[in-house]
Amino acid sequence: MSRVALVTGGSRGIGAAISVALKEAGYKVAANYAGNDEAAAKFTAETGIPTYKWSVADYDACAEGIARVEADLGPVDVLVNNAGITRDAPFHKMSRDQWQAVMDTNLSGLFNMTHPLWPGMRERKFGRVVNISSINGQKGQFGQANYSAAKAGDIGFTKALAQEGARAGITVNAICPGYIATEMVMAVPEKVRESIISTIPVGRLGDPADIARCVVFLASDDAGFITGSTITANGGQYLT
Ligand code: NDP
């Protein structure tokens, strides 16, 4: 019987590539999203992957959403915490709302999604949790005190939970993408993009599929000995 994977923010960008790659690898996939109904409907029409709307920033909504997914597809074996937002500003101009929104989605979202699923994974003695952090959580980024703090927090969360899950057959890992050619990055002027690419040793932006392949590997039985690790996928831009 095929395993069930749930991808947060799984209808667009990197998350969409992850959802599709997991489906192609034989998983039953559910893609969560926050509010962009049009993109979600288009994604489902194109891929056949069902989409489920709730905010990962809301604990009760996560518990309810997970229950819906499990009623439709069965117990979730693989959780990919991919949903993320930016609310950039230099720190002296950063509002409390900008700080809190990023914390709620990019850091608390991991608690809100993993906590309701954890008892079931422990009981079934199998689980895979993959957290999408960021290069900017590793190195910090001007104008992203909120985002860098949350993404660094994701790595700490990963390492702590890996220790708790190990004996129960649950692995917990993080992936830190560098610049990936999503809509957001492709929207910046070509000149700026070229200057970003000049700082990436492999000489190109990442492709969402580059990250999706890492997820498929970490979700697999072959990766059962890997837990608490951080995979850096950034074309050599920042070496940890
Ligand atoms: P996109 O903005 O393209 O997509 C974000 C997805 O997350 C959408 O599906 C969105 O839903 C969903 N989402 C946002 N907030 C919530 C929420 N509160 N609850 C549920 N879903 C939510 O993002 P990317 O593909 O660029 O990024 C994916 C992840 O990768 C993020 O965690 C990001 O921080 C990280 N990352 C991205 C990099 C890049 O270069 N793009 C680099 C490093 C890390 P909806 O469609 O409804 O808005």
Q: What is the DSSP secondary-structure string of 6-60? A: EETTTTSHHHHHHHHHHHHTT-EEEEEESS-HHHHHHHHHHH---EEE--TT-HH
**Alpha-carbon distances, residue 67 vs 30, 52, 76, 125, 140 (angstroms):** 12, 11, 10, 19, 36
On the 0-12 / 13-18 / 19+ scale of CB atoms within 10 A, 36 is: middle
Rounded CA gap, 116 and 67, in Å?
9
Give the Cα separation of 200 and 17 in Å (integer): 22
Q: Which residues line ligand 1 (CB under 6 A)?
A: 8-9, 11-15, 32-36, 39, 55-57, 82-85, 105, 132, 134-135, 177, 179-180, 182-185
Domain boundaries, the chain: 4-228
123 alpha carbon to ligand 1 midpoint, in Å?
A: 30
Mean pLDDT of 160-167: 98
**pLDDT for 186:** 87
| pLDDT confidence of residue 182 | 93
Whether the predicted pLDDT of 174 surpasses 80 = yes
For residue 226, report the distance from its CA to the centre of ligand 1, in Å: 25
pLDDT digits (tens, 9 = 90+) for 64-109: 999 999 999 999 999 999 999 999 999 999 999 999 999 999 999 9
The catalytic position among 27, 33, 52, 147 is: 147
> Would the pLDDT of 184 be above 80?
no
Q: What percent of the chain has pLDDT over 90?
A: 96
Residue 177 pairs with which residues in a beta bridge?
233
Q: Is the pLDDT of residue 152 over 90?
A: yes
147 is catalytic: yes
Read off the pLDDT of residues 59-73 as tens digits, 9 standing for 90 and up.
Answer: 999 999 999 999 999
ipTM over 0.90: yes
Q: For domain 4-228, give the fold.
A: Rossmann fold (3.40.50)
pLDDT score for 185: 86
